[in-house]
Amino acid sequence: MTISISELATVRARHPEAIAEAAARRTRRPLIGDSGRLMVVAADHPARGALAVGDDRLAMANRADLLERLCTALSRPGVDGVLATADILEDLLLLGALDDKVVMGSMNRGGLAGARFELDDRFTGHRAEDIARLRFDAGKLLMRIDYTDLGSLTTLHTTARAIDEMAALRLPVFVEPFISHRSDSGVRNDLSAEAVTRSIAIASGLAGTSAYTWLKLPVTENPDDMAAALETSTLPAVLLGGEVGKDQDAAYEKWRKALHLPTVQGMVVGRSLLYPAHGSVEDAVDTAVGLL
């Protein structure tokens, strides 16, 4: 049974079991398909209260609009799947949008944007057992490290245990590491070559095994430094999209260069594609797919 966006609240209220039923009958696919590359659309920002796109602080707050954008993106050739929290993935299940797609559950969303405890990023999203029960394909977690914030140690420790739990179930987990610091405008991620290199080294060494660990990485400030940074690990990596910028063409060019590097397997991109600064969702997604 597939439904329309306008029917979601009614089904959730009267037939909550429909979510488990939709998950059970979803057609699955391998993580890496025939193309040998991975293109995933990310939409897990709202659960951290991070709703802004550019200058619009509440751009992602309209759930119907977000779901329409996601369904459009998932319908485009070359898009392999989606990364989101339980509420969004369950909406997409009910809408019938996840057949033959890679489904990634977002695991830690406790580091709310702007909160004093932002860097104590608790695992308030999917657990490894949830991802397995729902027959999803992978998990993703965010690991920001501020050397001056004790909350980062909690995040580091719980991240390692989450990787162990995912590996025990033979489920891939995508780790998104940053060296971060606080400023007057909030937490900022350091994209210098040295910081990205350190974050890769730290993330790669976590947990009792790295057999199922992937890295989800930003392109360094100077794209020419990315090759050296990626030499820090043999783990497979995907590129993340980051904030929506005014010069989207420059972002595409940065991704294009990094996608040629040996350990890079694809991209996981969110707001840049769902809320492009220029043009339609279709155009933005097709351009990104073309980079692969």
pLDDT of residue 107: 98
pLDDT tens-digit readout, 2-43 = 789 999 999 999 999 999 999 999 999 999 988 889 999 999
Q: What is the mean pLDDT of residues 196-206?
A: 98
- The three-state secondary structure class of 25 is helix
> What are the pLDDT digits (tens) for 204-244?
999 999 999 999 999 999 999 999 999 999 999 999 986 65
More confident residue, 97 or 249: 97
Phi, psi of 5 (to 5 degrees): -60, -40
- The reported pLDDT for the residue numbered 33 is 87
CATH number at residue 29: 3.20.20.70
Q: Can you tell me which residue has the tokens 């040295």? A: 194
1, two tokens: 């049974």
> Which tens digits make up the pLDDT trace of 166-193?
999 999 999 999 999 998 888 999 999 9
Inter-residue contact 235 to 201 (CB < 8 Å): no
Ordered alpha helix ranges (H), the chain: 8-14, 17-25, 63-75, 86-94, 128-133, 151-168, 193-204, 226-230, 248-258, 271-274, 281-291
**Confidence band for 93, pLDDT divided at 50, 70 and 90:** very high
Categorize the per-residue pLDDT at 278 as very low, low, confident or very high, splitting at 50, 70 and 90: confident
- How many domains is the chain partitioned into structurally? 1
- What confidence score (pLDDT) does residue 252 get? 85
Task: Write out pLDDT tens, residues 33-83.
Answer: 888 899 999 999 999 999 999 889 999 999 999 999 999 999 999 999 999
Q: Which pLDDT score is estimated for 186? A: 86
The more confidently predicted of residues 235 and 252 is: 235
pLDDT on residue 245: 63
Count of CB atoms within 10 A of residue 248's CB?
Answer: 18
- Domain extent for 129: 5-291
Residue 214 dihedral angles phi and psi, to the nearest 5°? -115, 160
152 within 8 A of 146, measured Cβ to Cβ:
yes
- pTM, entire model: 0.95
pLDDT, greater one: 62 or 278: 62
Per the CB < 8 A criterion, the answer to whether 172 and 31 are in contact is yes
Question: What does the pLDDT read at residue 157?
Answer: 96
